[in-house]
Structure 1
Amino acid sequence: MTEAFDMYALANALESLRLANQVADHSVCQWQILSLQGQQLRASNGIATATTRLDQAQPLDVLILCGGENLHNRTDHADLCQELHHWAIQPIELGAFGKAGWLLAQIGALDGLRSSLPEPDPSLSFGAFKDLTPVAAPFCIDRQRLTCVGPQAVKGLMHELLARTHGRGLIRRMEKHAARQARPLQPRHNAPEKLQAILALMNDHLTRTLGIDELAEAMGISRRHLERLFKRNLGCSPSRHYLYLRLQQARQFLQAGKQPMSDVARECGFVSLQHFFRCYRQYFGAHPRDERAPLQQPRSLTA
């Protein structure tokens, strides 16, 4: 890290790593916060963070630069560039968040590789960047280089990095955990205990959904009694509310990550994409693909 680093980008990265460890229930990754001198650094929002000297770091698999907004425009970072040159030839993955990626471009670490870089500052001279291959995507991993356009794209970059080393199953579990944590509290504080138990059972079975008769049997009540509970307290049928829960989870999955539509539909208990698309449009008035974050347009670098 450097002085005035982007705290938002750092927090997004560390939270992804922390959640991966929590969901896996063991340590799948470790991290160190490093700087050239090992001094305390202040983020752009003024929060101070302790760091460890880079030359005293534990062995590294990945090194990612998190810098300030104008890091690539400074003229007093010769030591940093020298260190980056050193790490660029090591057998590790080297990356940068946001505009810090332009510093990697300046030292030639991105030459001949695809990269995701944010809009460059007008002060940059593009003559030295003829070997860059920018892509229209929020983040990019090409061989041993990792780049992203800004702090909001950091999460996607970290998820892709984790998926490469630990499998996409871990990412799906992370996204499901995040979706559960973001689920609003159901209006059940005055609901009968039986209804509260049914709602909890529904939330626990959003992938392999339970039939209405199965729910009633599990609660030891008749189907008719179960339907009356929902109509009286929630104003809808049990099947309608169940569908609402599944669609809400699907929407959170779509907004949170890059899962294929087919995986989202399956994780939320839909037997076919066509059925998922139809239900989603009827409920939200939009196609599921509309929830995806739009990709950035390619940048044209001219001299």
Structure 2
Amino acid sequence: METFQSPLKQQNIRFRQSTSVPGRERVVRVAFVLLDHFSLTTLSTAMDALVTGNLINGETLYQVATCSLKGGLVESDIGVPVSSQRLVAEGLTHDAVIVVGGQRVRLASQPLLRRVLKKTASKGIVAGCWNAAFYLADAGLLDTHEFACHSDSRALISEYFPQLKASGLDFICAQRRATCASAHAALGMTLAIMQELGSRSDAALVDEIKRLHQPGQGEPAITAESVRPAAIPKPLNIALDLMENNIEEPMEIDEIASQTGVSRRQLERRFSRYLNAAPNRYYLELRLTRARQLIVQSDRSLTDVALATGFISYPHFYKRFKDLFGLSPMTFRDYYYASDCASRGHALAASS
């Protein structure tokens, strides 16, 4: 199987067929402890990062569970209930335990939660979202750590634990303790936890999860401009624009070089230096990236996708797509949706 050579690799790598052997992934178990009136946005942001991690062709499988002090349905801050398992005094056996607070969560010492967090801290990561740093502090787990929390709760936590130092950072993850100040910051905190607990190969893909799931932002289109280095020669910028604007009817490389005012050889050297790929190779990867987007995000026929991305025949498109993504276009469409549904279904089942 061929591999992507250009900067487009990071945007496409999670869509390649996994080469890992099923059953041999590193399994990381994460439990979310839901407090009454917890922030649903915080939970969904953190959980979505983990589920997306399962879709990436890495070596780690994230298993998610939701727990609470009483078990059963826990009402979120917007009134939507989420099912949970009941915490027990024996504690949890998960690699990370994340307590989910929220604006409407009332802070009060909970002996059972204190015991669970202490036991987890001896072997795993403990974390608190929004104002849940209170519970880590109550368990004596922040005595030598700065913590992040929502500004509305900082004064109250400082009143109970005056010896602790609140940070102005959105999130902190260090020495197996993690805290974040808001739903937005839960993404960065969760990604930091994934980097610490996951395989090394997964850590390199964290930026891709962030790009896909940054709260308040949709997935940006992958364009020539979005992957180009910050400072590149003007002729190369022009060449990338020409490629981006001529996907359906690809230009010849000689014509692109002519319009940029340099020779083909000069253009090839600049592509090699700044984009680590020959011009024709980068152009192919750009077209196949667009094809992947159309396959995943639309119901257009695969023949239409081939024509829309500059392939004169479906067999040619079929071969090149399979070379880079490891699956035929049709199998890829079926595989992607099946994997997406299965991964999200697994997370929901684990939390019920």
Q: TM bucket by the smaller chain?
A: 0.5 to 0.7
Q: Secondary structure at the match of 2:46?
A: helix
1:171 aligns to 2:206 (yes or no): yes
Change (3 A) 1:122 1:109: closer
CA contact (8 A) 1:19 1:174 kept: yes
1:138 aligns to 2:173 (yes or no): no
2:180 to 141, 145, 148: 148
CA contact (8 A) 1:105 1:111 kept: yes
- Deviation at 1:6? 0.8
Within 2, Cα distance between the matches of 1:205 and 1:123? 42
Q: Which has the higher contact order (CA 8 A, sep 6+)?
A: 2
1:117 aligns to 2:149 (yes or no): yes
Amino acid of the structure 2 residue aligned with 1:19? T
Which one is further off, 140-149 or 101-110?
Answer: 101-110
Change (3 A) 1:38 1:19: same
Within 1, Cα distance between the matches of 2:53 and 2:155? 39
Match of 1:249 in 2: none
Match of 1:22 in 2: 55
Cα RMSD for the two superposed structures: 4.3
Within 1, Cα distance between the matches of 2:251 and 2:154? 69
1:66 aligns to 2:103 (yes or no): no
* Count of aligned pairs: 216
Within 1, Cα distance between the matches of 2:92 and 2:144? 30
Q: Secondary structure at the match of 1:50?
A: strand
Q: How far does the alpha carbon of each residue in 1:237-284 deviate from its partner, in whole angstroms, 9 at most, with x for none? A: 999xxxxxxxxxxxxxxxxxxxxxxxxxx89x9xxxxxxxxxxxxxxx
Gaps of 5+ in 2: 1-33, 230-235, 262-273, 278-352
Change (3 A) 1:223 1:44: same
Match of 2:220 in 1: 183
- Deviation at 1:43? 0.7
Match of 1:279 in 2: none
- Deviation at 1:141? 1.2
Match of 2:328 in 1: none
- Deviation at 1:113? 1.1
Amino acid of the structure 2 residue aligned with 1:31? V
Within 1, Cα distance between the matches of 2:241 and 2:172? 48
Q: Secondary structure at the match of 1:30?
A: strand
Correspondence 1:107-256 to 2 at 5 A: 107-121=139-153, 124=156, 126=158, 128-164=160-196, 165-167=198-200, 168-175=203-210, 177=212, 182-183=219-220, 206-207=227-228, 211=239, 215=243, 219=249, 221=251
Amino acid of the structure 2 residue aligned with 1:52? Q
Gaps of 5+ in 1: 185-199, 228-236, 240-265, 270-303
- Deviation at 1:204? 10
1:42 aligns to 2:66 (yes or no): no
Within 2, Cα distance between the matches of 1:67 and 1:223? 56
Change (3 A) 1:238 1:103: farther
Within 2, Cα distance between the matches of 1:10 and 1:217? 39
Within 1, Cα distance between the matches of 2:113 and 2:61? 29
Within 2, Cα distance between the matches of 1:78 and 1:111? 18
Same amino acid, percent of matched pairs = 17
TM-score in terms of structure 1 length? 0.57
Post-superposition, which runs of at least 4 consecutive aligned residues in structure 1 deviate over 6 A? 223-227
2:134 to 102, 121, 130: 102
Within 1, Cα distance between the matches of 2:120 and 2:86? 15
Within 2, Cα distance between the matches of 1:142 and 1:17? 19
CA contact (8 A) 2:91 2:116 kept: no
